[in-house]
């Protein structure tokens, strides 16, 4: 005897609750294209690479369609900018006299 489900829990959407043949969503080339774009984004591909792969005229078009899938990496950007600033400041500080007895020539 087939297993019966409540109407709202049937995995196959049969109103009578009978377990029947599974139904699958229709897969189109367009849906596969979106899937490919999503997988590229999830793998960390650069937006220009995705743009070229999909044949979009511009990266703006790619971002308009898939921008919501890119991580909001503001914390990471801030950390990298801060590290870059500290590194640049450390290099520049080498040219600044730190001893009071040193004087800059021509000043």
Could you state, in order of their start, the residue ranges of all structural domains in the chain?
7-70
**DSSP classification of residue 18:** B
Instruction: Count helices and strands (H / E) in the chain.
Output: 4, 0
**pLDDT value at 104 more than 70:** no
Claim: this prediction has a pTM higher than 0.85: no
- Exposure b/e, 78-90, CB count within 10 A at least 16 = b: eeeeeeeeeeeee
Task: Find the DSSP H helices in the chain.
Answer: 29-42, 47-54, 59-66, 74-92
Q: How confident is the model at residue 106 (pLDDT cuts 50, 70, 90)?
A: low
pLDDT tens digit string along 37-76? 999 999 999 999 999 999 999 999 999 999 999 888 788 8
pLDDT tens digit string along 75-100? 888 888 999 888 887 777 665 656 66
């Amino acid at each position: 005897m087939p297993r019966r489900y409540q109407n709202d829990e049937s995995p196959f959407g049969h109103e009578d609750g009978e377990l029947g043949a599974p139904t699958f969503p229709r897969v189109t080339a367009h849906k596969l294209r979106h899937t490919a774009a999503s997988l590229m984004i999830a793998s960390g591909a650069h937006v220009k690479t995705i743009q070229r792969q999909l044949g979009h005229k511009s990266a703006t078009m790619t971002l308009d369609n898939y921008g919501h899938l890119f991580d909001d990496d503001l914390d990471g950007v801030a950390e990298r900018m801060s590290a870059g600033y500290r590194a640049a400041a450390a290099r520049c500080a080498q040219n600044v006299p730190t001893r009071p007895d040193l004087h800059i020539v021509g000043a």
